[in-house]
Amino acid sequence: MTIEYDNLATPSESTEPTECNHCGSENHQHGYIADKESYLRRMKRLEGQARGIAKMIEEEKYCIDILTQISALTKAAQGVATGLLEDHLHHCVLDAAHMQDEQLTQEKIAEASSAIKRLMRF
């Protein structure tokens, strides 16, 4: 079994603020931008872990060893997700509240609540 990785999306390297599709602000930067490089490093590490797991499967390694690696990958992904959620709350939700736009603030809170529910399904 061979797994192809050529079609993986490459993250944009630009940190220039653009118009936000979620709040309409022209100079809005998403909360994670300050830690973008750290997130990219962590995601590349996760990608490496996933490739390692695929190799273990290709080499027919012991199933418990594979499950142990999947557990580590899942925990690392949860750490990234938790960080992104914290950044969203401290930046995007807080910005909406500071704009005193009740509807936008409620939308951001609903987005965060939905994300928390998805994360709790891990």
Q: What pLDDT shows up at residue 24?
A: 53
Q: What pLDDT shows up at residue 11?
A: 44
Supply the pTM of this predicted model.
Answer: 0.69
CATH code of the domain in which 65 resides = 1.20.58.1000
What is the residue range of 70's domain?
Answer: 36-120
9 belongs to a structural domain: no
Mean pLDDT of the chain: 82
7 belongs to a structural domain: no
Rounded CA gap, 112 and 12, in Å? 24
5 belongs to a structural domain: no
Q: What pLDDT shows up at residue 120?
A: 87
- Give the residue ranges of DSSP H helices in the chain: 36-58, 63-87, 94-98, 102-120
User: Which regions of the chain are under pLDDT 70?
Assistant: 1-28, 122
